[in-house]
Structure 1
């Protein structure tokens, strides 16, 4: 509805612990997983006082280094000195234990990256609050002698009391030498938000965090990183040599962002200067450095310049009316001294005024040409170094289809196309040489600079390798990385294929909300490279919605439906008192095999749908329930009655072995029946519920019964003795009526869905005190049904007809669309976790079956040519595997 407030974006809800995760660290109980990064894993914990905390446990390979522990100890102590204005306070640390860890305040709320992915760019007022809060946090962090080094949208949490910066406790104490943290092996940073000095492994100061502040402000304002997307080599190249694209940043912030993104660290303002400028609305202090840019080398021929211009394709040019930021660094910096930051002839560069400052933008509504940009120093005379010998050009990013270290691989030497199912042989993956790369004849270097150039290029290559080792991930940054040119020769090991597949799948997940078409292409490519777990999940998220096939038959309004455990049959009962059965042996062309009337007097529109029994049987609800045999699927036959002792069997739930049946009416009564002999169902137990029952579910292991109620709770009963159900506990948290309950296949977790629009997952390790481990917020409508799809997924139905899928393997699952109808739907899944049934309720319609089987989804995906990644996009993202059409072979 126009003008309505969108639902809040889900925060940092924990995921269940893995079998190998610790259950206790020191005085802290570990209760869930919050995330994982290059430095280690973050857990949700509780102290002795019951207060929630975030605990980052360092990776064993890092903890094994004594120098790392020493640095960690120093930084943890420094982090405690940080004021708590807008940061997650550091509470405790253990640098000396078997698993070093850092304890910080647990901050509720989504990350900036998640918020922007879900909602798009921030509103101007919210953007200004974010910019001020992060600048304030950096000022406090720097005052304690710490450099964050990895400030990204993923490290800014949008808490109920405002933005907070996290993860600064694992930064670097810049009062010390910092040599260990500057080694490539332990490089810290996320590519899209790293300052030039981090890429070059130059000394890193607090100015690197100011650069990151500018980058995340651009991201929050526009929804994109300031240096775009692409392969990591191209991304780092743009950070080093090209201006940032700050188009879309409001005029009130553009000048500050422009200053923060200057290439030379000494020319950036301090975090405190940013904070003061944001608070007062005044200009920054005078630029401490030179605005002049070094002159590119002379004497390059046109042919050489033409080759250089090729590398500008697909990247922001920095010309025209768009605001640009940060020209190439001045020669006064260390980078310039090595000749690494001189822009090549023909490369895009920031336009400058006579004073050397960037020109004012001339977009509609902007300041007049020549007017000062708010927050920037007044123009001054250009200052620069004394003239010297010309500097060599920078290394150029490899062209698509070429190897980073040399000339393109001849077509005759490339590996032929190989069927997808045939894993190639070869080493585990490319290694990064510590020797200087071969000389490039197209990049002449003055003899006096040759050593410096080789050293600098080696540093850049090693930093890239370090980022791969640490698994640095940022939205929009290519993740399929290696030391080879796009296209490669395809001769990589199965392990490397799995690595590439996982990386592409993870990037597909990051892009799905903002660019679903690209996410679909990457998902299919990832799965065809290697069907890893991540790739399988990406396929489901991208293509399950396109897999639905309507079941034949006349349209009807149904009371519900079911799938057999093997997925071969679907059944549904309609509001006219008919049972319909379909054969799904051929998923693309299902057939209706039966349409029979329910026994007289048993049909009712209030009844739930049917349920399959393990031994070719069926149970239907109604004024009187019935068991059926499906010996002849074309002629379902009633074999037993379930009359109900106290209530009509309007709702049904069957245990995994099919021997226990729970029934309920729409009131307060629950009955347990024994179906060991379906022809003679036996009443064995009864329980009256204080509230009004909305749904019931028996756990697969037949030990627990869950009862959903209108008061927003689900009550758990122990039914190991079915004759005497004993209440064990109750969920609490849903603010409105619970409409649906279901157990996951392990019987250890319960799922609830309700009128508040949430799906919640509960850990039942202690049934007396169920613990919520996930809160999944849908599209805003009431959740009317929830169904486990195997052990890894959930499907939920909302009152407006929206069907969503949820990947339970994700630490923070985001709902992906399974279908979007206009009418309420009932859901069912088979026992294999690969097939779904959607049945229309209330309004007449057609049932449909869909699949979550990635192998079947390949055929679905390849029906649309737009889902095929082309060779250019492949080469932009996959560097050591030859292009292969994902729909061939």
Structure 2
């Protein structure tokens, strides 16, 4: 841990930086504190990757996927800003040295500790792969040895950097560390889950010998060894050598899966102190250093979080030159002077109008009339993701960054009741949710699909989504949704959508799309007979009764589909993709409806919602704006609404009279009539 240098930022998003934890090929990591007092590790991405035009889109996609990985062997991603001048992400801070540091300072691991390391790494990869991710950069510096075991960090980030291949486009440098790459990565191929197993074997060799199995005097020679040479396994304990040899097979098909590797390892004896004493001494020393650092920032000194001004979110003038999205946070402390009343998890505040034309941080102008201002603003203590109104419009729900589902009473503009926690354990994060037609029951996706009583917030049932089409073992759910007629409930897994009867909760079928896809969605037609499933840049429509594809794929996007939603009448499908377009489709005929909407170069719509009458579509973008379109004509309505930060949810409520938007910790309610007149 190193003190901050003069050039280091003192604030990254809502996090105040304290010290440098380390540096690597992808960037540097800073220790920071959040507004809630929680310690986080903030990774600042190196500038060389930002120069790649497609990096931010890939980084945004990978961060969103990484948030779905939260197990006992991973450090959960809790916040990120892909649009900052220097993109960053924040994960839970876990005290403990990297394996690389531990080996360098205390020596190599013995057979028992190496077996424990192998079991922990295999279990971590099970968690990562269940979420549809491939780590791609498993190496000693990305493995933390902790007081209770280990944590794997930085999954998904290598993929954001590498684009279509495995090399950085502008510098020619190899993404990742050559000594721990798989042969397929060294050949420039897209790595799969078996690549992570190969890297695991290389990490095991390093842990027991202090060097990788293909070490050489130059990177080209290392890569040549990875491709053609037998690994150097001398000096490994017999049990560890057998495991490493299996993992380091040149052919991916010959390597064990992480589950099979756990079976080969067998049971590991439980231990209160899993590592050698010298490693635990490093852990204790790091914790002591953090304690001293925090003591220096005690309340006796200057305020840890000084009050911050609260800018008024306003409409953006599309003709105004862009200055890049602002990343200011609406902190409760800063809002108190403006009449924000703190209530529970956050606070609602009325925002008055004004005639200012001061330049807005997003590059637009402040609105000239109060009609273009939100009618209410809520500031939360945690980042919020996704929004949905209950069918009667009385409740607004959002996913909290603390793995909860939070509710707000629309009439009183206050938090409503206790949050819903996905369950016990780190895997119980909520990825998506959906109200049933009555609004009495709510379904969440995460560790399977769970049903909740909206009034009491008690769990009613837990439904299993198979891990794979060929396996009944339970897996994660990435999306969940009811059919518009209320008869069916669907949960999207990695390779299929499991379908249940919404009333009896009995399985009634499944739609298999045959390959891992964490972008899969649940979008039923109005009568529940059809199901639309994004598949990369296409959308496939399936007959629910037979589980077979119905008609041709919906083609038109040129990049992966991010969002898909069916109109309230169940006839029209809206899709948004990473190609910066929004398209409409007739679900029954499979034909495109009207012309595609082009949002703008490098501007992606990530969240969409139809108005209750189906006439308007709202889209929230990563550049901090919300846009409205007339569905019939595909024309823009009014001006884009600037939120000053990446939009993480949009929803219509109040019988279509209200639009809710969320950006990080701030929910805003807008009068739709005023917006459409703007």
Q: Which TM-score band applies after superposition, normalised by the shorter structure?
A: 0.3 to 0.5
Q: TM-score, normalised by structure 2?
A: 0.41
In our comparison, the structure showing a higher alpha carbon Rg is: 1
Q: TM-score, normalised by structure 1?
A: 0.32
Name whichever structure is richer in strand by fraction: 2
